[in-house]
Structure 1
Amino acid sequence: MLVSVYRTVLIYFVVLLVVRLMGKREIGQLSPFDFVVAIIVAELAAIPMESTAFPLWKGIIPLVTLGVLEVVLSYLALHSPFLRRLLDGEPQVVIRNGRIVKEELRRARYNLNDLLAQLREKGIFNVEDVEFGVLETSGRLSVLPKSQKRPVTPEDLGLSTGYEGLPTILVMDGQVLRENLRVVGLDETWLKERLAAYGLKPEQVFLVTLGTDGRLFINEG
């Protein structure tokens, strides 16, 4: 039993390493090549975990080989448009000026029901409202609504807006993030004084963030 546990744990970390090498992409964003690699990895990982008689190294070597192949081809694809097209394919314009491009649907083997479903998911129920619809290599649909159908923005109204950046996390799970404090030019003393005004200590709060407008958000634990 201990042998099975050991083999499973080892294969788990090897597979985790291979998946990490594939980059920070969701399953729906994987290229065909990445998807094939993921399937093969799953199959190869199952063999040494199911059969203790199967030599462990025979399961690890193919996994590592696939990981190296993934890294090498991904690197080469960064500098080769041809290789990118070969591995990932190309985006296809399936809606142009409010009209469905049937030829592109056929090329992508993408049916009308799928197209309409993805439009509805984006809150668009009329194809005529779409300027361009692009079927990405991941199979997702990117949509540019016609200008008359887009929400009004402050720029459309000639209004100026202030800068909105990401809030800085200062405390998480009761732990002070000193590096984040340093980045915004503050220190732990300042933070403790601000929290003390609310009768709190850092270890008593779940989350503290500092907005770009200087406001402190405090979520008690």
Structure 2
Amino acid sequence: MEIDWFRVFFSDQPYSFFIEIVIRTLIMFVAAVVTLRLAGKREVQQLSIFEMVMIVTLGSAAGDPMFYDDVGVLHALTVFVVVLSAYRLMILLIARSDKAEALLEGEPHYIIRDGKLCIKEMPNDELGSDEFFSQLRAQSVEHLGQLRCVILEDTGRLSVFYYSDEEVKPGLPILPDEYRKKSRTIEDSGLYACAHCGNTLQLESVARVVCDICKTEEWVKAINRRRIT
């Protein structure tokens, strides 16, 4: 099978189409910048799901007319106008309606209260425990007893509020070496934390203990070290 390298690199378009690509790309680049500027300025980490969808839509609409000769620039600009208009309408609805804001932007959820995971309040599949613990470790958190509360904001960021050193209580360790020691069997009596929800109990040596909050059976020895920053 012989490969037509000329077609691979140049397609069937005339050389003049390269100039057209340059013009198309510049037009769509400027249109994208203007549209996003009109949409408002916000950090990438603070973008809502709705805003991310808008950016992806604009990217798709901007890309095609840059090098497809059968896609007109005005068609793409029409998409830009419609998307920006829809975005402005959604912003207006969000400003006037709390229900619309919760539906389109989401709402904050408590992940931790008083050093324990809020199993019943946490949105399903929003945040895996490994990802969640890694974010806390990045903020020098060793165990959940150091935390007064943690809130998952509608942007996906975590707002963390700490206990003072005097208020730190025994909690579930989240450092990998300590967390991996979780077990279904309590070999030594002491204070233990549920590996699933962080509930702490004084336990005696026993083969099986069910957490009265989340109904799981894995436990880790609780620790109460103060937070070091």
Identity of aligned residues (%): 27
Q: Is 1:133–1:141's contact at 8 Å kept on the other side of the alignment? A: yes
Distance verdict in 2 for CA 1:47–1:79, change over 3 Å: same
In the other structure, the counterpart of 2:20 is 3
Instruction: Identify the match of residue 115 of structure 1 among 111, 132, 137.
Output: 132
CA displacement 1:27-75 (0-9 Å, x = unmatched): 2211111111111111111110121231111111001210121122112
2:95 is the alignment partner of 1:78: yes
Alignment equivalent of 1:148, drawn from 165, 169, 191 = 165
Larger radius of gyration: 2
Residue in structure 1 matched with residue 40 of structure 2 by the alignment: 23
- Residue 68 of structure 1 aligns to which amino acid in structure 2? S
Distance in 2 (CA, whole Å) between partners of 1:129 and 1:23 is 38
The runs of at least 4 consecutive aligned structure 1 residues that moved more than 6 Å come to none
Give the 5 Å matches for 1:1-221. 1-148=18-165
The residue identity in structure 2 corresponding to 1:87 is L
For the aligned residues, what is the CA RMSD? Answer: 1.7
* Deviation at residue 108 of structure 1 after TM alignment: 4.8
1:124-147 per-position Cα deviation (integer Å, ceiling 9, x unaligned) = 221110001000111111100013
Structure with the bigger RCO (C-alpha within 8 Å, sep 6+) is 2
Q: Is the 8 A contact 1:105 1:111 kept in 2?
A: no
**Separation (CA, whole Å) in 2 of partners of 1:5 and 1:64:** 22
How far residue 13 of structure 1 moved from its aligned partner, in angstroms, is: 1.1
> What's the CA shift for 1:106?
4.8
Q: Which has the higher helix share?
A: 1
Work out whether residues 109 and 123 of structure 2, in 8 Å CA contact, stay in contact via their aligned partners in 1: no
* Helix, strand or coil at the partner of 1:147: coil
User: Which ranges in structure 2 are unaligned for 5 or more consecutive residues?
Assistant: 1-17, 168-229
